[in-house]
Amino acid sequence: MASSAPLSSTLSTNHTVKRALGVADPELAAIVAAEEHRQQYTIELIASENIVSTAVLEAQGSVLTNKYAEGYPGKRYYGGCEEVDKAEELAIRRAQQLFKTDYAVNVQPHSGSQANMAVYMAAGLAKGDKVLGMSLDHGGHLTHGYKLNFSGLDYTIASYGVTKDAQVIDYDEVARIAAEFQPKLIIAGASNYSRTLDFPRFAAIAKQVGALLFVDMAHIAGLVAAGLHPSPFGHADFVTTTTHKTLRGPRGGMIFSRSPEHAKKVNSRVFPGIQGGPLMHVIAAKAVSFGEALRPEFTEYMGRVKASSAAMADEFKRLGWQVVSGGTDNHLFSLNVMSNGVTGKQAEDKLHEVGITVNKNLIPFDTQPAQAGSGIRIGTPAVCSRGFGVPEAVEIARLIDQTLKKRDDAAALADAKARARAMCERFPIYR
Ligand code: DSN
């Protein structure tokens, strides 16, 4: 006999599901609103940050959040994956189109660090095997061999850096270290290097010593996509990137593999190797951002990012500041603030007071402790996303100059703060 029990009321559950954040959780909603306000009224110069489109936010806040999809398109461990399969395939197709490559793509890494970890494993390295990467204090990334990162803990690392005088990579020196050290893997790529990377040269060095070449293009991916930095494709065995820096997508990572054998290993190292369920809402947002980056407006945007970075570095030099390596070919540069008697940390704090956000940084051959640093890293991707260009970049350099040189002059600081705020008001975000 059929049960006569009444069906559950949908009223209470639906009511909960459909409530807007501001109604459901005013406390958290206030934090989000305050963060939006901070972004609106702050000049954001952190080189690894950006301001994504509302379409990217919408995809990331979509119902794809609800879906488990361990595995890969067509080979999942859960039912009901037909729509998320399409989203992942779209992201893969667009990534290949964007970088004009037939390398296989894995769009599942939750972050750049996880993408890099999967590459170490897919490259067939055993614990203790030798890896050559750029040292952290000369601009490399934690995952390129820093002693407290998995890369430095699990592998034997040698590092290259920049020259003392010109502060650029000396490729002869990289070749010399590689020949002596005989690494299995060479990493090219940086988090804080303002000059063009010579991928053919790295590939030649790798070939000479029988190493695999792994390019981490996280910082410059947008420039590569726009044709404003030489491409690593055709030179590297693996290419990784984050998707949220110059690429202007959601926070996440991605791996490209040249050979089908490596691609297979990458897939199994990402899942089930180091990750479980992929974040399908993030993968959807990656697809949206790659679609945006395929548009001509993105090329214009990246051109403005590069021109603004160069103009700002030039203005700093004109104002008497030391720019590491003497300038920039990309979206960022480091300013040696210690040359004007202020540590990186002091500069970061003082600039925060006037509404300018930067991060302190070690500069090559730094004599300051890591917590202080002698430099600040400055990047233009976020400000250019809100519409800034060369004139605003020059104005920002003047504001920073005023703030740091007149750091004890309350009137000068108040003036810089008012001018920074006025610039933000002229270029609103999300409005
Ligand atoms: N933490 C990032 C940066 O700021 O460059 C690198 O992953």
Q: How many CB atoms lie within 10 A of CB 244?
A: 26
Catalytic machinery residues: 68, 70, 216, 242, 245, 251
Q: How far is CA 413 from CA 207, 377, 408, in A?
A: 54, 21, 8
Please tell me the pTM assigned to this model.
0.96
d(CA 50, CA 329): 19
**What are 232-268's pLDDT values in tens digits?**
999 999 999 999 999 999 999 999 999 999 999 999 9
Mean pLDDT lowest among 18-22, 392-396, 406-410: 18-22
Q: What are the backbone angles phi and psi of residue 132, rounded to the nearest 5°? A: -115, 120
Looking from the CA of residue 112, the nearest atom of ligand 1 is 7
Ligand 1 pocket test: which of 49, 134, 141 has the largest number of ligand atoms within 8 Å of its C-beta?
A: 141
Tell me: pLDDT of 7 over 70. Answer: no
Give the DSSP H/E element, type plus range, for residue 306: helix 296-318
Q: What's residue 179's pLDDT?
A: 98
Q: What are the backbone angles phi and psi of residue 310, rounded to the nearest 5°? A: -65, -40
The residue whose CA has the least distance to atom 6 of ligand 1 is: 191
Site residues for ligand 1, CB cut-off 6 Å: 48, 112, 141, 191, 218
Q: How many CB atoms lie within 10 A of CB 92?
A: 21
d(CA 140, CA 142): 7
Ligand 1 pocket test: which of 44, 46, 48, 361 has the largest number of ligand atoms within 8 Å of its C-beta?
A: 48
**What are 156-193's pLDDT values in tens digits?**
999 999 999 999 999 999 999 999 999 999 999 999 99
Structure tokens of 428? 């609103």
Distance 17 CA to ligand 1 centre (A): 36
Residues contacting 213, CB < 8 A, separation 6+: 185, 186, 188, 202, 203, 206, 235, 236, 237, 238
Average pLDDT of span 18-42 = 96
Looking from the CA of residue 191, the nearest atom of ligand 1 is 5
Distance 110 CA to ligand 1 centre (A): 14
Q: What are the backbone angles phi and psi of residue 307, rounded to the nearest 5°? A: -65, -40
Q: How many CB atoms lie within 10 A of CB 261?
A: 11
Tell me: pLDDT of 118 over 70. Answer: yes
**What are 185-218's pLDDT values in tens digits?**
999 999 999 999 999 999 999 999 999 999 999 9
Distance 48 CA to ligand 1 centre (A): 6
**What are 218-233's pLDDT values in tens digits?**
999 999 999 999 999 9
- pLDDT-derived band of residue 18, with 50, 70 and 90 as boundaries? confident
Q: What's residue 1's pLDDT?
A: 43
Average pLDDT of span 103-126 = 98
Mean pLDDT of all residues belonging to the chain: 96
d(CA 273, CA 292): 31
**What are 265-308's pLDDT values in tens digits?**
999 999 999 999 999 999 999 999 999 999 999 999 999 999 99
Average pLDDT of span 45-62 = 98
The residue whose CA has the least distance to atom 1 of ligand 1 is: 48
Looking from the CA of residue 49, the nearest atom of ligand 1 is 4
Looking from the CA of residue 242, the nearest atom of ligand 1 is 7
Tokens 């060369």, located at residue: 390
